[in-house]
Amino acid sequence: MPLTYDVRVYSIETRRDRPKPYRVRWLVGPQKHSKSYTVKAQADGRRSELMTALRMGEQFDVETGLPSSELRALNGSVTWYEHTRTYVMRRWDRLPAKSRRNDADALATITPALVKTAVGRPSARALRTALYGWAYNKSRWNIEQPSEVADTLSWLEKNSLPVSALEDPETLRMALDALSTLLDGTPAAGRTANRKRACLSDVLGLAVERRYFSVPVNPLSTVKWTAPKSTEEVDPASVANPRQVRDLLEGVRAQGARGAHLEAFFGCLYYAAMRPAEAVGLTAAQCHLPKRGWGHITLRGGIVHAGHGWTDDDRAHQNRHLKARAARDSRVVPIPPHFVAMLRWHITRYGVAPDGRLFRTSRGGVIQDTGYGEVWAEARSAAFSPTEAAASLARRPYDLRCAGVSFWLFSGVDPMEVARRAGHSVAVLLRVYAKVLAQAQDRANRQIEAGLREWDGNGASPGGRLGDTR
């Protein structure tokens, strides 16, 4: 909705054959606008309002034809709840299912904080259910709502603050405080708060675009706010070494048919540093498995669990391309002979699903994180001492991926190649694995020092005696 000073107001046009014969006409940029009235005095009044705005130096909106003052007054009546529903509607069709769910989660956290009164306020659980499950889930907009949900959303429609209220820093801080807190009142994790803040910023950006604020600036840029502390860095204490990984995989294999079927799945996370979603969707066609030597896996995406109601076909899972990559991108990961043999044995023993997937449930379905999580927990109990099991060492299946990347780095593989294999940018790799890299640097320093000592058994090096800082 661009604004312009290029405005021309015409004389009132009279059309005797019309029910409303008096028409006010004006031109805003290239766009023609008009409004018809029954009584000439009404038309005179409207033309006078337009002329006054023009003489006051106001810009006019090209799309609506309104002076900026009238546009602000009109937009000031748009509520936060109404605006966020528009935001969801605009984005829904082009978002993957998990992002739809994340948006709904963020908005369902923020919206209850932006209301005019607490009188008649529904419970926190009722608000969460109505917003997350219905108001911000577009796939349910044409389904009849339960009475409690309908009553809750009706209360929100009546009591939601106008979007323009978020220009006030104190009101905006209410939203920021809400997204920094969990339902039970405890602080949210830093990554969670930052994800929800990003959604808030997008919603406010749309409000700026629609000129709901008096100044065309995202209010978030005017408020100083610090997210709860978080760290993306991999903790070396959670990284299993190769011997520990071997023990864990043995613990998986020892759990009967279910465990034996999942051994190669967990191997994917370690030996190929695959994300769980990538391993869940792995097909035989993606695997090059020679009888001898190294093989490779060509990754093109994965199967992401989003939940029923968030996908277009109402399935719980959605096929997605590689994370942070274009739809047709692929990533080739070399795999060592030991893991090649493991995958060959798996395919020989279990075959593949009709769609080529290597890993599946007993009925051929997509394996669930809850299912393989149970197997992993039991494997940790079998492989580790009680002290190790109580610590953070390889607590999650995802920690196998971190262990695989860490081992590559510690083995001296170029960080750029490690980042390529893991599907990271180099910047992310250096940030997330900073502590692991520090350990690898110490090892590299010792190797350099040993190399220098080879020049002289007494410690002399080409630059003088080691340790001499002169």
Tens-place pLDDT, residues 295-315: 999 998 888 877 778 887 778
Q: Round to whole Å and give the CA distance between 295 and 423.
A: 18
CA distance 173 to 96: 29
Angle, vertex CA 393, rays to CA 391 and CA 398, nearest 5: 130
Percentage helix, strand, coil for the chain under 3-state DSSP, each rounded to 5: 50, 10, 35
Query: What's the N-to-C CA distance of the chain in angstroms?
Result: 69
Start-end of H helices in 111-255: 124-130, 147-159, 169-179, 190-209, 242-253
pLDDT at 1: 58
Q: In this predicted model, what pLDDT tens digit does every residue of 450-463 receive, in sequence order? A: 878 877 665 554 55
For 326, the token pair is: 């274009």
More confident residue, 207 or 321: 207
- In whole angstroms, what is the distance from residue 12 CA to residue 24 CA? 5
Q: What is the pLDDT of residue 458?
A: 55
For residues 295 and 340, is the Cβ–Cβ distance under 8 A?
Answer: yes
* pLDDT of 87 above 50: yes
* pLDDT of the residue at 443: 76
Residue 438 has pLDDT above 80, yes or no: no
Q: What is d(CA 253, CA 375) in angstroms, rounded to the nearest whole number?
A: 10
Q: How far apart are CA 418 and CA 414, in angstroms?
A: 6
The pLDDT assigned to 326 comes to 66
Which residues sit opposite 333 in a β-bridge?
297
Query: What integer is the mean pLDDT of 91-117?
Result: 95
Query: Does position 470 have pLDDT exceeding 50, yes or no?
Result: no
Q: Is the pLDDT of residue 412 over 70?
A: yes
User: Rounded mean pLDDT of the chain?
Assistant: 90
CB 113 within 8 A of CB 174: yes
Residues 6+ apart with CB under 8 A from 163: 75, 78, 79, 80, 83, 207, 212, 213
The residue whose two tokens read 């060959």 is 344
What is the three-state SS of 19-80?
CCCEEEEEEECCEEEEEEECCHHHHHHHHHHHHHHHHCCCCEECCCCCEHHHHHHHHCCCEH
CA–CA separation, 134 and 154 (whole Å) = 12
Say what the pLDDT of residue 453 is: 80
Q: What is the pLDDT of residue 313?
A: 78
Q: Judge residue 31's burial from the number of C-beta atoms within 10 Å of its C-beta, 0-12 exposed, 13-18 middle, 19 or more buried.
A: middle
The average pLDDT across 184-208 equals: 92
- Whole-angstrom CA distances from 248 to 10, 387, 395, 404, 411 are 82, 15, 11, 14, 21
Strands, E, within 265-391: which ranges? 287-288, 295-299, 301-305, 317-321, 331-335
Bridge partners of 303, per DSSP, are 319
What is the chain's length? 470
Please name the helix (run of DSSP H) or strand (run of DSSP E) that holds residue 82, with its range, or none: helix 80-92
The two structure tokens encoding residue 198: 């990003």
**DSSP character at residue 189:** P
Q: For the segment 115-170, what is each residue's pLDDT rounded down to a tens digit?
A: 999 999 999 999 999 999 999 999 999 999 999 999 999 999 999 999 999 999 99
Res. 446 pLDDT band, cuts 50 70 90 = confident
In one letter, which amino acid is 184? D
Question: Could you give the CA distance from residue 301 to residue 278 in angstroms, rounded to a whole number?
Answer: 6
Contact 1, 207 (CB under 8 A): no
Tokens of residue 58, six digits: 């106001």
Q: String of b and e for 311-332 (b: at least 16 CB within 10 Å)?
A: beeeebbbebbbeeeeeeeebe
Mean pLDDT within 234-258: 92
pLDDT tens figures, 377-411: 999 999 999 998 899 999 999 999 999 999 998 88
Q: Return the pLDDT at 245.
A: 95
Q: 439 and 305 in contact (C-beta within 8 Å)?
A: no
Average pLDDT of 9-17?
A: 95
What is the H or E stretch that residue 449 is in?
helix 434-453
Nearest to 70 by CA among 124, 28, 126: 28
DSSP character for 221? G
Please answer whether residues 102 and 199 qualify as being in contact, where contact means their C-beta atoms are separated by less than 8 angstroms.
yes
